[in-house]
Structure 1
Amino acid sequence: MHVHLRRSLAAVLGVTAVVSAAACGVSGPVANGEPIAFGPAGRTAYPLTFDNCGTKVTFRTPPRRVLILNGTSVGEVESFLMLGLGGSVVANAQSYGVSDDPSMIGRIKALPTGGVTANKNFDVPAEQVLKLRPDLVVSTWSGGFDARKGFATREQLAAAGITSLVNPVNCASGKPDATAAEKTAYKNQSINSSLEFLLLLGRIFDVQKRATELVDGLRARVDAIRRRVAGLPAKKVLIAYPGMAMMNANGLPAVMTGGIYDDVIRAAGGVNAFAGQGENLTRTLSREQLAAAQVDVLVVGLFTPQEKGDAEAAKLFAAYPQWRASRTRTYTVVSDGVYLGPLNAAGVEKIAAAVRSGG
């Protein structure tokens, strides 16, 4: 999730997590001064050194004690689990409670928390991180290492012998001195962003074959949908999270647009009803703008387990009967499949089914 939206949710909801919508890297991570090649899977040659958001990181062996910071994300912990790396996690601060892969809920809950608790800025404070003595701390955004928020800095961690890692697509998020390339990368989001992180973890943990096979399978699922919808008229799709109304100044459902949201919708054969307008729209969208939108397919996003997708869709159809989707009752329900993370294929498949059924 973009930085101001991340803060909005954190301020209202504490450590309840939402998967980050993040940018696709302009160039991949760098190892030993050269771009990491995500080619044929091989064994990782240690020491593995690369630049991560302007910080040089070195892995001499696969990490064995990993702390995953909250950052109002769940994409990182899901990536660890899908790669079979849950055994390396000594503390996980990410959670969501609803998922497009229902098995994820229990799998995440089963991970150790390490006894860590969040500070007033809704993540693990520096003293708890250092006491835990992890060998790797993972943050979805650069802001997870901001001393002004009470978090351990990357320099502080390095001095304690702890490696830090930011999901590369989020380098610019929470980084005041972000480079132009990092800012561009943060804006230009895509499904590929999610896959690149899986491949990076595969390299770090020496499970490249596993990561490549997983990514190939996920990409194949998305590509199958792209081929199926190629050449068909694109339907106008609206992604709305009623449970995130605190993110909108007018109390409306959080309408998601730009970056990975647009890419997921495109892959499913649609076009975002507010394509390319970005994070500011989520905050400022007015009731008049929402009423005037062309909506062929409604995508209801679930934020909490208590929400019922069918009921939320019915409420929106009643509030906006002028939408074509309201007349045809065309909708689907997603949760984390449209955010940065390994479940984009599930999100694409759900939306594509609704797009094709929309008449």
Structure 2
Amino acid sequence: MVCCVVTTVVAAVVVLILTVKFIYHYQSGRCTSKTRLVGKTAIVTGASAGIGKETARDLAQRGARVILACRNVEKAERVAEDIKKTTGNTDVVVREVDTSDLTSVRKFAEDILRTETALHILVNNAGMSGMKKRKLTADGLEVTMATNHFGHFLLTNMLLGLLKTSAPSRVVNVSSVAHHFCSSLDVDDLNFEKNPFPKSLIVYGHSKLANILFTKELSEKLRGTDVTANSVHPGAVYTEIMWKGETNLIKSIFALLVWLMGKDEKLGAQTSIYLAVSEEVNNVTGKYYVDCKDTKVSAAAKDAGLAKKLWEASEQLVKLRPEERHY
């Protein structure tokens, strides 16, 4: 009798999981654009795994010159070779960058400006989950904020001049629905020096809120340049980021559920690809997309004043130099 009950419960759970997965996958957005990118150049940060890898693969399939901007060069080289084989596009290269290290970001950007004559797509995808304890980088920045926000803020600013001269061009910032977990952002304490260090998911949420606010202010600064900037929530996607940073029981359970019911990397990359190539968003800027649809953000993410203050604070914290400003 007990065995029958257990079997019934297990069967019910399996059916529930499969049903949720089917519905979630069915309603997930997909990029149907046939845009070709021959003669175009794209950079994808964090392209050695996950949705960054699949975004890079799609752009390469369309004929673009694709630069995989990654911290782990050896791993990225293996991915680059795989992309070349699966797409037939040999113009896929690897460049080293660690978005948590401002020196690395500057070196990468300077190399791009020295070697590339154009840049049409910049996908700021690299990221990590939040830490349980406050940890600072060599630049004195909280590591989650540095990896997810400050590094991309500096990189984008340094490449804006090239993006402008290559216009029409696009910036895509990978954010998250986790930005809803934060009702505000203290721009005077972005490294959590004054306030108690929050839970890891909240730290992550702060960095993702920063991504959207950065996108909002960037789009304002780029008005009239034919360079657009939009942000994206890729969905619940099972990737390596699930195990980056520090893990705990709740995070492990969440990772298991996403593995069972979430999107795979290719499906998770669809909205990033859509914003990078689709004709439907040719003149769209400053928006937040989920499943290839313009979607509402939190009240804090709508705050234009907060976005401007975040930009100013970020400039100070990354020590943005006059020659690195292109707006």
Question: Would you say same fold, with TM above 0.5?
Answer: no
Q: TM-score under structure 2 normalisation?
A: 0.33
Greater fraction of residues in helix: 2
Q: TM-score under structure 1 normalisation?
A: 0.31
